[in-house]
Amino acid sequence: MKTTGVICEFNPFHNGHEYLLKKIRENGAGHVAVCMSGNFTQRGVPAIYDKYTRTKAALSGGADLVIELPVSFACAGAERFAYGGVSLLNSLGCLDEISFGSECADINALKKLSEIDKDADYSNKLREYLSEGMTFAAARQAAAQELYGAETAGVLSCPNDILAAEYLKAIKKLNSSLEPFPVKRIGAEHDSDKSSGNIASAKHIRSLIYEGIFPEHFMPSYTQDLFAECEDQPPRGGRLSKLEQAIMYRLRTMDRQEIADLPEIREGLENKLYSVIKNSTSLNEIITGTKSKRYTRARIVRIIMYAFLGIKKDELSDAPKYIRVLGFNSRGKEILRMASESAKLPIIMRYGDVRRLDDEARRMYELESRCDDIYALSGQNAGICGRNMTEKMIVMN
């Protein structure tokens, strides 16, 4: 039987995620290891439920082992997010494949997409369309359609296919033996505000929860029970608005150079952001005033979160430096037993294991702990500090 890895947020775990794990099992996977974002997500916002609750949901829904994607990779653009996840799964040293949701589920089309950046003609066309004032997404698609045709351009319009191509790029960069296994997405489109049958996007589900409507139709019953048991019940999950005043304080105390030192800042963006900060009275004003055709809202939110969490460009590690275990079941224990002999990074099962880390890895762990303490302020009721060091792993049968 195969051992398969998945990179995810599960924010929150829903029927579409259950379907993905089911298809992986049907493809012959006897063990499934999940690399999951911690308490902050790729969009730069707090996860709606904390990483321990989401770990329980993942283990209930078909995962066997859950490890944590460090915040500097989880809260990042597609390329860094994908590379961090693939690097961690590859570092276990005992996985056979990596699986992911895909709109096209055509491995040849995805491989072609993963090579597109190496084409000088494509790069030139992309710059040409950008200079005409197109958004990056529109320019990318227009360049692809002109050079490769509508089929390739169509793949470029699909968020999960773009992320899948980044997974393939990371596999190649790492010279990894992981075999890719795309699973055809079903139901509602990524980030859609509509549902299809009993499947809705995570974004739509989060919006319902924040409105005080529990979307039980779109979630497995065991997930509903887990979330209902949370101390911060919906709509009291993590949300950016709870941190707004603290974020505004941090931004107003930064100078231009501090902003320039943040990840994803380039082409003088620090000057525009600095000016907008000084003339805004809300977080939404800052985001709206800074975003543009070239700089998406998601990217601006991530940059703001880098500033708030204290993540600097020159302090970013090129890859995760340890394997942090959040939870496992009996099959996950078997993965860990294999990884104890094959892993290329230290495995952190409890806080005492942190003492074995080198300086760079320890700084990464300390950043995670600091971010978790900040996340504890994003719910309806503030949580205490230190949970990243005191919380026990989730162990399920």
Total domain count, the chain: 3
Instruction: Find residue 6's DSSP bridge partners.
Output: 34, 99
In this structure, are residues 185 and 103 in contact, taking their beta carbons and an 8 Å threshold? Answer: yes
**What's residue 232's pLDDT?**
47
Place of tokens 């700084």: 363
CA–CA separation, 41 vs 55, rounded Å? 15
Residue 135 sits in the same domain as residue 255: no
- Give the amino acid at 168: L
**What's residue 192's pLDDT?**
66
**What's residue 261's pLDDT?**
97
Residue 328 sits in the same domain as residue 309: no
User: Taking 90 as the threshold, does the pLDDT of residue 137 lie above it?
Assistant: no
Residue 387 sits in the same domain as residue 307: no
Neighbours of 390 (CB within 10 A): 10
Residue 175 three-state SS: coil
Residue (of 46, 38, 84) closest to 302 by Cα position:
46
Among 91-105, 106-120, 177-191, name the most confident range: 91-105
CATH code of the domain containing 337: 3.40.50.620
Residue 267 sits in the same domain as residue 125: no
189: exposed, middle or buried (Cβ count in 10 Å: 0-12, 13-18, 19+): middle
pLDDT tens profile 379-396 = 888 888 999 999 999 999
Among 199-203, 237-241, 249-253, name the most confident range: 249-253
DSSP state of 119: -
User: Taking 50 as the threshold, does the pLDDT of residue 235 lie above it?
Assistant: no
Burial 93-125 (b: 16+ CB within 10 A, else e): ebbbbbbbbbbbbbeebbebbbebeeeeebeeb
**What's residue 152's pLDDT?**
79
pLDDT tens profile 20-53 = 999 999 999 999 999 999 999 999 999 999 999 9
Q: What is the mean pLDDT of residues 129-153?
A: 83
Residue 338 sits in the same domain as residue 225: yes
| Range of the structural domain that residue 269 is part of | 245-314
Residue (of 367, 396, 385, 397) closest to 40 by Cα position:
367
Instruction: Using pLDDT thresholds of 50, 70 and 90, give the confidence band for residue 127.
Output: confident
Residue 274 sits in the same domain as residue 378: no
In this structure, are residues 56 and 225 in contact, taking their beta carbons and an 8 Å threshold? Answer: no
Least confident of 65-69, 118-122, 218-222: 118-122
Residue 13 sits in the same domain as residue 92: yes
* Residue where one domain finishes, among candidates 314, 342, 372: 314
Residue 194 sits in the same domain as residue 88: yes
Instruction: Using pLDDT thresholds of 50, 70 and 90, give the confidence band for residue 283.
Output: very high
pTM of the shown model: 0.93
Instruction: Using pLDDT thresholds of 50, 70 and 90, give the confidence band for residue 57.
Output: very high
DSSP state of 194: S
Residue 262 sits in the same domain as residue 115: no
Which residues are within 8 A (CB) of 256 and not within 5 positions of it... i.e. 6 or more apart? 270, 271, 274
Indicate the helix (H) or strand (E) that contains 181. Answer: strand 179-184
Among 93-97, 158-162, 218-222, name the most confident range: 93-97
Q: What is the mean pLDDT of residues 245-269?
A: 96
User: Taking 80 as the threshold, does the pLDDT of residue 328 lie above it?
Assistant: yes
pLDDT tens profile 352-372 = 999 999 999 999 999 999 999
User: Taking 60 as the threshold, does the pLDDT of residue 208 lie above it?
Assistant: yes
Structure tokens at 224: 């509903």
* Residue where one domain finishes, among candidates 279, 314, 349: 314
Q: What is the mean pLDDT of residues 252-267?
A: 96
Q: What is the mean pLDDT of residues 95-99?
A: 98
Residue 134 sits in the same domain as residue 6: no
Radius of gyration of the chain (CA): 21
CA dihedral 310, 314, 320, 321 (to 10 degrees): -100
Indicate the helix (H) or strand (E) that contains 141. Answer: helix 136-148
Q: What is the mean pLDDT of residues 140-151?
A: 84
